[in-house]
Structure formats: structure tokens, C-alpha cells
Amino acid sequence: MLGTIKIDEIYETEITGLENEGSGVCKINQMIVFVPKALPGEKVRIRITEKKKNFARGKIVEILKSSDKRIESKCPYYEECGGCNLRHQTSKENLKFKKEKIETALKRIGKLDVKVEDTIPSLKEDNYRNKVSFKVEDNRIGFYGEGTYQLIDIDYCLLAQKQINDSLNVIKSYLKENDNEIKSVTIKYGNAMDEILIDIYSLNNTDIKILDYLTTNINNLKSVIYNDKVVYGNGYIKEVSNGLMFNVSAKSFFQVNSVQTEKLYDEIIKQSNLSKEDVVLDLYCGTGTITSIVSKYVKKVIGIEIVEDAIIDAKENLKINNISNVKFICGDATKEINKIKEKVDVVIVDPPRKGIDRKAIAIMKKISPKKIVYVSCNPVTMARDLSYLKDLYDVKKVVPVDMFPNTSHVETVCVLERK
């Protein structure tokens, strides 16, 4: 009978595959069970931690037969922390998994049978993140445990760049010595000038006293934001990518893997095959990184973004880089596209994880560019959106880029051409 398993019971089972987020998959009494940090081919004893109507979750109690793809994690917090989830598998296998999850999404959701290129590996597999958000609780700082709200107190994060870990330890020292009501701390690192930005959220305004401690003990501190107000510096750090300089504020989006970002944008340029006669539309343009980088290859770029602060940053980035063939529009893409008078040749779209709005897809079809370059951090919503476009467009290229080593996440560059 389906689902005759009990929470906290121990079961012996064999892992048959990996699901989209990297957990092992098995069946117990006909019910699908997801097991984090388990690998295909492994025989394990698991404890059931959660049971839903159609599936359950379990946790490894003992590995009876180990996969030859299993490696020892270098992170002392890995078993409990929810920050990364594929440290127990070889890098080669992780790259293969990311390619296969895109293939699966395209076939099952997009009903598309297209070739997916091999995943472009990251030059750095650790110490690559230029932004990390930490939780704070009872004078401790770290991450929540996997699937819980239990704080794991950490001294360093292997994914984070060294400068972020150095700043984390200064903050840890302060928290140990001072009672506080700080709830979260985000640390960003800018590679252009070796700068640190710290964004603090607290329930108590008197916690602003941490500012003196930070400015005294972090030499490369450039800016501090406290409860959404800039209290030190100008609110920006600078990031260099593909030969251009960008201002990055606390809330503005910038890819978290600086070195691999260059590879991602190079791939967008390469696969777009742009010409000096092209007019390009960059939807969900954010602070205009792709917009600015693409600009030197084309006649004109129009960037649309609904977040006003992002557009302010984007316009400033144009001045910094002396770019004159870009126009930014602040507003809802579905409304603003209709106002564009130029014939658009290429649309570049890098949407949030939820994908593209159906109205925006309809308008993209209406303006009918010869090419669409879809950049995605979520293969599932990408596959769904491509299925809506396949009546008018053929998928010509799908290139995975490993922006997030040691995790199940992957970035994809997908090129569509009008039929």
C-alpha cells in the first residue's frame, strides 16, 4: 500500500537517482523518498524525517555500500549546514548532473529534444562567492541547518571569498562581546578595489554601535548599511567584469561568482553572434551589467527594469564606463515594450527564478526579434518558457555554466532563432 512508512522509522534502501535539487531518490513501500547527500547506487539506512501525501524525506543514518563517485567533504559544517549540497560528489559528476538536469527539464517540461552542451566548469570551486548572507541568533552567526531554522554557528564558509570570511570573524568577535538584537548580516566583496560592504538588519537601533568596531577592525571596509540606511561610506563597492567597472549597492543584483561571471558573459556574446547593426532589448536588465557589456558589439541596447534603484545604478554605470549607445527604461516590461519605436533584432532576457511573465512572452512574440538569448538560473521555469516560444522559435544552443560549484544550481545560456 502506498505510503505505509512512518516518521522516525529506520529503513534500508537503495538510491536509484538524483532529483532536481541534488537529493538522492529511492522508493520505500512504493513511496518516493528524497534523501539529501545520498548518491545513486548507494545502499543506505535512512530515518524518515518528513512525510507528505505523495513523497517523504529521509536522512542517512548509515551508508552500507558507498558510491565510487563519493568524496570526503572538506567542510566541517557540511553534514548539518544547508548552504551547499553536492560536496560529497566528485566535481566531474557534479558537472554531468547539472547538464542532465537541464536535459530532463527540457524534455519533460518543455517537450523539447535538443542537445545540451557540456557544463562549462568554474575556475574556482571554493572561495568564489562575492556575497554571503548570514543569520544571527543569541550572539551566534551562521546558516540555518538543512530544512530547519536551527542556526549552525560557523567560523568560515568555504564558498565565500577570503575577505568575506575575514570580515565574518570580526563580526563574530563583536557578537560574543556585546548583547544585541542583530538578526542578519550580508557581506559583499568588490574585486575592483578590494572593498567590503556590510548590510546589517537589527531589531534595535542601539546596535548601530557595531559601526565603530567594524571601521576599526576591517581595513578594507568601504560601506555599511544599517536597517536600510547608509551609515558609512557611499553605499557602493566596485566590481570589474569583462573590462567594465560596475557600482554594486547592498540591494543591487550582481552575479555571485566574479571569475565565472566573465565566462558567462563571454558565452552570451559568443552565442548571440551579434552585429554592429543590431538593436538589442535587455529585459529584466537589473543594474545593466549585460546591457553594458553587450553595447560595444551592437548599434544600440535598450534595458528595461522595474526596480528604480537598479536603474539609477545602471545609469551611473554607463557614466563610469563612458557608454553612449544604451537607453534604460524604468517600468513594467509588459507595458514599456509597446512604447519602443525601434525594430528590435535581438532580445536578451535574464529573469528571476520564477521565469518570464506570460504577458512578456506574448509581447516578445509580437515584436518578433530574429533571436532570443535566454539566460536562466532555473532549468524548470526556463523549459516552461521555451515551450511557450517553440511555435515561433527553434532552440539552437543550450550551454550550462557552473556558476555555483558544490551546489545543485546551474546557469544556462539558451539561444533561440526565429523560424
Q: What is the pLDDT of residue 37?
A: 95
Q: What is the pLDDT of residue 307?
A: 87
Give the type of residue at 69.
K
Question: Count of alpha carbons within 13 Å of 257, Cβ hemisphere only?
Answer: 25
CA distances from 233 to 214, 249, 320 (A): 12, 11, 18
Residue 103 CB neighbours (<10 A): 19
Cell of 118: 557540456
Residue 392 DSSP SS3: coil
> In a structure prediction context, what are the per-residue pLDDT tens digits for the chain, which is 419 residues long?
455 788 999 999 999 999 999 999 999 999 999 999 999 999 999 999 999 989 999 999 999 999 999 999 999 999 888 789 999 999 999 999 999 999 999 999 999 999 999 999 999 999 999 999 999 999 999 999 887 889 999 999 999 999 999 999 999 999 999 999 999 999 999 999 999 999 999 999 999 999 999 999 999 999 999 999 999 999 999 999 999 999 999 988 889 999 999 999 999 999 999 999 999 999 989 899 999 999 999 999 999 999 888 899 999 999 999 999 999 999 988 888 888 888 999 999 999 899 998 888 998 998 999 999 999 999 999 999 999 999 999 999 999 999 999 999 999 999 999 99
CA dihedral sign, ordered 142, 143, 149, 152: negative
Cα separation of 263 and 253, whole Å?
18
Cell of 231: 551609515
Q: Which domains, from first to last, does the chain contain?
A: 10-65 (2.40.50.140), 94-124+257-418 (3.40.50.150), 131-238 (2.40.50.1070)
Residue 357 DSSP SS3: coil
Cα separation of 124 and 158, whole Å?
11
Q: What is the pLDDT of residue 3?
A: 55
**pTM > 0.85:** yes
Residue 409 CB neighbours (<10 A): 20
φ/ψ region of 160 (left if φ > 0, alpha if ψ in -120 to 50, else beta) reads beta
DSSP 231-269: EES-SEEEEEETTEEEEEESSS---SBHHHHHHHHHHHH
Pick the closest to residue 18 from 32, 8, 31 (CA basis).
32
Quick check: is 414 catalytic?
Answer: no
Which residues have CB under 8 Å from 230's CB, separation 6+?
A: 223, 224
Q: What is the pLDDT of residue 410?
A: 97
Pick the closest to residue 373 from 313, 276, 256, 285 (CA basis).
285
Give the type of residue at 241.
S
**Active-site hit among 75, 157, 330, 377:** 377
- Locus of grid cell 560592504: 197
Cell of 360: 512578456
Cα separation of 119 and 407, whole Å?
14
Give the type of residue at 60.
I
Q: What is the pLDDT of residue 360?
A: 87
Residue 96 DSSP SS3: helix
Query: Are the CB atoms for 271 and 263 separated by under 8 Å?
Result: no
Query: Are the CB atoms for 130 and 186 separated by under 8 Å?
Result: no
* Alpha-carbon Rg for the chain in angstroms: 23
Cell of 374: 535566454
Query: Are the CB atoms for 388 and 308 separated by under 8 Å?
Result: no
Helix ranges (DSSP H) in 160-199: 162-177
